[in-house]
């Protein structure tokens, strides 16, 4: 019997212009990207977002694979959406739509990154945190799941 996938370990965005993408995610959105190097790979940028490794790689690391073009849709949890929207619009980043209510006590807006990928920014309310607590209690917490299997 094969194992069902339950956790996302990484999200790698491949770009023909990674420096431009790093500027957007690190300097405008505040994603804590740092330069990384592994083996023979070109310099790239990564960080941990919760339990997920988020990275931006140059196209040279993935020869023959598609880059950019808006095929990726990302959603980031934001604790103060109003403050982030103010900062982004002051930097000339256009919102796809103004923040709208997204369920109980939750708000969402979106922007495009320089490669055309849709980036949703969500300020989630207490019901989402309740959902996560229930999910973790049912075995959806990565470190606890990993430890139980060892």
Q: Out of 3-12, 76-85, 138-147, which region has the weakest mean confidence (pLDDT)?
A: 138-147
CATH class of the domain at 10-149: alpha beta
- What is this structure's pTM? 0.87
Which of 59-73, 115-129, 134-148 reaches the highest mean pLDDT?
115-129
Helix (H, G, I), strand (E, B) or coil at 140: helix
d(CA 118, CA 96): 9
Domain residue ranges in the chain: 10-149
Determine the Cα–Cα distance for residues 118 and 111; give it in Å rounded to an integer.
Answer: 6
Six-digit token string for 144: 């606890």
Contacts of 74 (CB under 8 A, 6+ apart): 11, 113, 117, 118, 119, 120
| Per-residue model confidence (pLDDT) at position 92 | 96
Q: Convert the pLDDT of each residue in 30-75 to its tens digit.
A: 999 999 998 877 899 999 998 899 999 998 888 888 776 667 799 9
């Amino acid at each position: 019997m094969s194992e069902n996938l339950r956790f996302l370990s990484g999200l790698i965005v491949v770009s023909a212009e990674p420096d431009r993408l790093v500027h957007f995610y690190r300097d405008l959105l505040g994603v804590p990207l740092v330069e990384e190097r592994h083996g023979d790979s070109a310099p790239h940028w990564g960080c941990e977002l919760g339990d997920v490794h988020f990275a931006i790689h140059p196209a040279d690391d993935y020869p023959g694979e598609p880059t950019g073009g808006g095929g990726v849709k990302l959603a980031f949890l934001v604790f103060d959406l109003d403050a982030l929207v103010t900062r982004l619009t002051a930097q000339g980043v256009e919102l796809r739509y103004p923040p709208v209510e997204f369920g109980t006590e939750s708000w969402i807006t979106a922007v495009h990154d320089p490669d055309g990928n849709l980036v949703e920014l969500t300020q989630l309310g207490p019901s989402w945190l309740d959902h996560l607590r229930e999910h973790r209690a049912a075995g959806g917490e990565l470190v606890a799941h990993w430890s139980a299997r060892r």
